[in-house]
Amino acid sequence: MDGLEKGLGASSDEIQFDTESAMTITGDETPRKESPNRKGNDWSMMTKLQEENDRNLSAGFKKQELGVTWQNLSVQVTSSEAAVNETVLSQFNIPTKIKEGRRKLPLRTILNKSHGCVKPGEMLLVLGRPGSGCTTLLKMLANRRGGYKSVEGDVRFGSMNTKEAEVFRGQIVMNTEEEIFFPALTVGQTMDFATRLKVPFHLPDGMTPLEYQQASKKFLLESVGISHTEDTKVGNEYVRGVSGGERKRVSIIECMATRGSVFCWDQSTRGLDASTALEWTKAIRAMTDTLNLSTVVTLYQAGNGIYDLFDKVLVLDEGEQIFYGTREQARPFMEEAGFICREGSNIADYLTGVTVPTERRIRDGFQSRFPRNAEALRAEYEKSPIYAQMVADYSYPDSDLARERTEEFKQGVAFETSKNLPKNSPFTVGFLESG
């Protein structure tokens, strides 16, 4: 256990994708070679973030703290074999269509009885190989249920159920793998629009909507070290613009501009080099701590430096939840189950590789009794004291603390939102009101 908590540096397994990322996300911007007169920015993210938070609280803003808890969460989709017609003409075969309409289509479970709790101020790392159900879980925790045949189980946002939480879709936010922009707009124009519609209706004394919006934009651009790209087009595969890593960071700060309470980040470090990915995670850690956010992150590759910044870890394999507990408990649990973790190895890769025969290494004496698949490992986990410890958190939505936080959250959203907007609007002001 102690070995896990000491000396976790950035892993050599983290692959560098964007070699142009000369600036870090903590605000320590270094001058670019093509801009020799540009001075380095000594801005500190934590200090600036704390100052902004203190200013907002002094102006009467309410804390918007909203945890997310889920139990027995299962998701099913129509089996791919049943969803595909054999030929184009078969779609117009009326007798066959009537027969198929009466037949119950086979379903495939892509997430099976998942459970967990992320309280305000906590960060959860969701690990799993492609196809294990990580993105599906994040969509459920972001209250995005469309496109699935069946969703069962209980998900609570603070003390609210999923139906009540639909009104607050602007505060329960997901950043997906896709990067969808207007490529002809500059980074500055993109962020102008993103921040303009989230300007609070009530502002701190002495600030105009435009001043608040510009301050927010400056804060966000500096937070990921891309202030120098403000006048550059976002671009895409057809329109020349910023680099792939910089475009990914625009996507990240667009999400941050929502000023949400629950953030779900799906593979948000993809396309970033190892150093920038680590600094982004530090920034998310700082925001989670300062603003008491509830943060859930999925990563296919997470070096030990990134892994060490999370509070809890959840591991999925083929839709089965094979582990959920604190970061410090994950490696010892797998080692006690019979899996060897080499000294200095990438812990996240180790956790996702225990069900892969070609990757796992078994301790002497465990060859005949180690859990061989996801179902067996899940059963082993559910017998452990870790499972009993984590289940105790699931009463949180019914606690007085959760109800108080949820009520203050609702008051805070109402305070910042214009009365002229629809009740379920994700924005705080109309476009004309934003200045």
Phi, psi of 134 (to 5 degrees): -65, -50
Predicted confidence (pLDDT) at residue 25 exceeds the cutoff of 70? no
- What percentage of the chain has pLDDT greater than the value 90? 46
Cβ–Cβ under 8 Å, residues 348 and 299: yes
The full set of domains in the chain, from first to last, is 1-435 (3.40.50.300)
- Nearest Cα residue to 84 out of 106, 112, 111: 106
Cβ–Cβ under 8 Å, residues 69 and 155: yes
- State which of 115-119, 129-133, 249-253, 420-424 shows the largest mean pLDDT: 115-119
- What percentage of the chain has pLDDT greater than the value 70? 83
What is d(CA 74, CA 255) in angstroms, rounded to the nearest whole number? 27
Q: Considering only residues 331 and 276, tell me which one the structure prediction assigns the higher pLDDT.
A: 331
Look up residue 362 and give its DSSP letter.
B
- Nearest Cα residue to 141 out of 257, 285, 288, 314: 314
Average pLDDT, the chain: 83
> How buried is 324 (Cβ within 10 angstroms: 0-12 exposed, 13-18 middle, 19+ buried)?
buried
Token pair of 260, please? 């949400």
What is residue 35's predicted lDDT score, i.e. its pLDDT? 34
Q: Which of 85-89, 339-343, 385-389, 399-403 has the lowest mean pLDDT?
A: 85-89
Tokens 């809890």, located at residue:
312
List of residues 6+ apart from 293 with CB closer than 8 A: 65, 120, 121, 260, 261, 262, 263, 287
Helix (H) or strand (E) holding 413: helix 400-416
What is residue 85's predicted lDDT score, i.e. its pLDDT? 56
What is residue 317's predicted lDDT score, i.e. its pLDDT? 94
Phi, psi of 409 (to 5 degrees): -60, -45
Predicted confidence (pLDDT) at residue 124 exceeds the cutoff of 60? yes
Predicted confidence (pLDDT) at residue 184 exceeds the cutoff of 80? yes
Tokens 């410090």, located at residue:
328
Predicted confidence (pLDDT) at residue 319 exceeds the cutoff of 80? yes
Helices (H), 227-326: 244-256, 274-291, 304-307
The predicted-structure confidence for 359-397, as pLDDT tens digits, reads as follows 899 988 888 889 889 999 999 999 999 999 999 999 999
What is residue 167's predicted lDDT score, i.e. its pLDDT? 92
- State which of 151-160, 171-180, 214-223 shows the largest mean pLDDT: 151-160
Output the 3-class SS for 44-78. Answer: CHHHHHHHHHHHHHHCCCCCCCCCEEEEEEEEEEE
Question: Helix 244-256 vs helix 274-291: angle between axes, to the nearest 10 degrees?
Answer: 10
What is residue 18's predicted lDDT score, i.e. its pLDDT? 42
- State which of 27-36, 45-54, 101-110, 388-397 shows the largest mean pLDDT: 388-397
Q: Considering only residues 83 and 248, tell me which one the structure prediction assigns the higher pLDDT.
A: 248
Predicted confidence (pLDDT) at residue 310 exceeds the cutoff of 50? yes
What is residue 205's predicted lDDT score, i.e. its pLDDT? 83
What is d(CA 417, CA 422) in angstroms, rounded to the nearest whole number? 10
What is d(CA 303, CA 326) in angstroms, rounded to the nearest whole number? 17
- State which of 54-58, 64-68, 202-206, 352-356 shows the largest mean pLDDT: 64-68
Model confidence band, residue 10 (pLDDT cutoffs 50, 70, 90): very low
Token pair of 301, please? 């590759």
What is residue 356's predicted lDDT score, i.e. its pLDDT? 87
> How buried is 48 (Cβ within 10 angstroms: 0-12 exposed, 13-18 middle, 19+ buried)?
middle
What is d(CA 207, CA 193) in angstroms, rounded to the nearest whole number? 19
The predicted-structure confidence for 263-306, as pLDDT tens digits, reads as follows 999 988 887 888 888 888 888 998 899 899 999 999 877 899 99
Measured between alpha carbons, how far is residue 240 from residues 184, 237, 366 in Å?
Answer: 9, 7, 56
Give me the DSSP letters along 374-388. Answer: HHHHHHHHHTSHHHH
Tokens 């993103």, located at residue:
194
What is residue 282's predicted lDDT score, i.e. its pLDDT? 87
What is residue 19's predicted lDDT score, i.e. its pLDDT? 37
Cβ–Cβ under 8 Å, residues 112 and 153: no
Predicted confidence (pLDDT) at residue 101 exceeds the cutoff of 90? no
Counting DSSP H helices and E strands in the chain, the numbers are 16, 12
What is residue 365's predicted lDDT score, i.e. its pLDDT? 87
pTM of the model: 0.82
| Average pLDDT score over residue span 123-128 | 96
Other CB atoms within 10 A of residue 251 CB = 20
Q: Considering only residues 43 and 430, tell me which one the structure prediction assigns the higher pLDDT.
A: 430
Give me the DSSP letters along 151-219. Answer: EEEEEEETTEEHHHHGGGTTTEEEE-S-----TTSBHHHHHHHHHHTT--SS--TT--HHHHHHHHHHH
Q: Considering only residues 211 and 272, tell me which one the structure prediction assigns the higher pLDDT.
A: 211
The predicted-structure confidence for 135-162, as pLDDT tens digits, reads as follows 999 999 999 998 899 999 999 999 999 9
Look up residue 66 and give its DSSP letter.
-
